[in-house]
Chain A
Amino acid sequence: MINFEHYSREKHLICKFSGRLDTQNCITLSEEINNKIQELMQAQSEKDKPEEKIDFDMTDVTYISSSFIRICLITFNQSQKGNFAIINCDPFLKKTFKIAGLDDLLIVS
């Protein structure tokens, strides 16, 4: 469902999702992402947001629910300005994020 690739030298975290990101699955996903961000925060000194660029890689995702939109909004608020992006969306997902207004807030590609 989620794999983390953390490149500490480049300060880059890639969250690679797969499958159906429905409400049920998003409960555990939300915890895992939050834990990972807390881990990043603990590794740095006195900043309220991680220095890392955070990407959500959607290559292998087949469905997103409203709970996943919530995860995106929370991660957006937890990351530094311009440091959060949703990448590798298929055209349908890209359109979904657009209709939901997320492409005005963050980078969707």
Chain B
Amino acid sequence: MTNLENEKLVNYLVVLDKPGRRLFTEEDTRWGGLIQPAPSEVQNKSNDGLRIVLFGSWEFGYLVLETLKEYERRFPGKVNLVGLVTDNPLNPDARISLKKRVWQFIDLPFRVFDETFIIESGLRHGIPVYTGEIKIESFCRMMEQWNPDAILVCVFGQIINSFTINLPPFGIYNFHPSDLTKNLGAGPAPYEDLVTRNAGTTVWSLHHVSEEVDSGHVVGQSPPVNVRNTKGILPGNSLVVYQKLAEALPQLTFFLAEELSRRFEMNQPGPIDHIDFNSLISDEVKQKLMQPVIPDIPAETLPMPDLSIFG
């Protein structure tokens, strides 16, 4: 199986799905490329509001994307998704720590499913999707064109360099599923940290992105999320636990988008120092997060945000 075949697979399954979509590959990227949506997918896209680029992949990234899309639909002119940058887990050349991160638990057909669906979802929203290398000249040029006011990161396998970190005036934020204020679970294996500590709950940390992985200032944390099943045991399948953790992500994304768009409207650039998610998230949601993990096997469908957060 050659790498070219993997690129062709994405091209075939996604780009050819809708007439007018186009794939561009710059000479300096060793994998992936830029997929532009079809003109018919772009025609209803607004260009107003805080410009957000999402660096995300897998189900967590998909959930953040879907929440932002819904936010843009519900509150036109407040946020404006302008681009998506994803992992490329289908290409063995992609340097995304495939064997250390969540992808190691996911068989190839499900990787195909996860990766192509997030690309498909971005294109359907009328935004370009980039699947290639980021520490190269052509990516920097593309980011300058996208001109993001803020960047959100959720499950992204490449180290983000200072050029990208310093680009958005309203900051760059990563969602990480562990308590980084206590130095727990940083890096690619937060589930393994739960196992080591035999933890009963965990939290999400939202932190500034720095060049060192998961080490930036923590802006806020989710309420606790129960990671044990009805028998009081931490499930042996990491994907089941991650799918439980996913329940908190739309809430964090929603309130981050609220705060960013508020600052944008007030013309107050600069990174957010603190968000008190605990006071913003309802008691009902907190109770739901503390309910035990129910399934023994991962769900077949991709997660969708609970639309009740939009009121």
Residues of A within 8 A of B (CB): 22-23, 63-67, 69-70, 72-74, 77, 96, 99-102, 104-105
**Does residue B120 face the partner (Cβ distance < 8 Å to A)?**
yes
Give the Cβ gap from A4 to chain B, nearest Cβ, in Å.
22
Determine which residue in A22, A63, A69, A72 has the highest number of CB atoms from chain B within 10 A of its CB, and name it: A69
Decide if A69 touches B109 in the complex (CB within 8 Å). yes
Check B107–A70 contact: CB distance below 8 A.
no
Residues of A within 8 A of B12 (CB): 96
Q: Residue A99 contacts which of B1, B107, B113 (CB distance < 8 angstroms)?
A: B1
| Binary CB contact string for chain B from 1 to 18 against chain A (1 if under 8 A, 0 otherwise) | 100011011001110111
Are A100 and B300 also in contact (CB < 8 A) when A23-B120, A63-B16, A66-B116 are? Answer: no
Q: Are B5 and A70 in contact (CB under 8 A)?
A: no
B310 on interface, CB distance cutoff 8 Å: no
| Listed A/B pairs (6) with beta-carbon separation below 8 Å | A23-B18, A67-B120, A96-B9, A101-B108, A104-B107, A105-B107
Contact of A100 among B9, B17, B18, B120 (CB under 8 A): B9
Contact of B13 among A69, A72, A77 (CB under 8 A): A69
Cβ A102 vs Cβ B17 within 8 A: no
Contact of B17 among A66, A72, A104 (CB under 8 A): A66
Number of A-B contacts (CB under 8 A): 58
B9–A99 touching, CB < 8 Å: yes
Interface residue B110 (Cβ < 8 Å from any Cβ of A): yes
Give bound CA distance, A102 to B111, whole Å.
11
0/1 interface trace, chain B 111-134, chain A, CB 8 Å (1 if under): 111001100100000000000000
Since A73-B109, A104-B108, A105-B109 are in contact, a sample of 12 more A-B pairs with Cβ atoms closer than 8 Å, ordered by chain A residue number, is: A22-B17, A23-B18, A66-B112, A67-B120, A69-B13, A69-B116, A70-B113, A73-B110, A77-B300, A96-B12, A100-B9, A105-B107
> In whole Å, how far is A73's beta carbon from the nearest beta carbon of chain B?
6
Cβ–Cβ contact B117 & A66, under 8 A: yes
Closest to B117 in A: A66
CA distance A25 to B107 in the complex (A): 26
- On chain B, the residues within 8 Å of A22 by CB distance are 17-18
- CB pair A99–B5 under 8 Å, yes or no, is yes
Contact with A along B145-189 (1 / 0, CB 8 A): 000000000000000000000000000000000000000000000
B92 to chain A, nearest CB (A): 12
Q: Nearest 10 CB-CB pairs, A to B?
A: A101-B108, A66-B116, A66-B13, A65-B17, A101-B109, A100-B112, A99-B9, A22-B17, A102-B109, A99-B5
In the assembled complex, the Cα of A91 lies from the Cα of B109 at a distance in Å of 19
Q: Answer whether A23 and B17 are a contact pair too, CB < 8 Å, given A69-B116, A73-B300, A74-B300.
A: yes
A66-B112, A69-B116, A77-B300 given as contacts; is B107 within 8 A of A101 (CB)?
yes
Given contacts A22-B18, A73-B113, contact A99 B6 (CB under 8 A): yes
Tell whether A64 pairs with B109 under 8 Å between CB atoms, given A22-B18, A23-B120, A99-B1. no
Q: How far is the CB of B76 from chain A (nearest CB, A)?
A: 25
- For A67, the chain B residues whose CB sits under 8 A away are 120
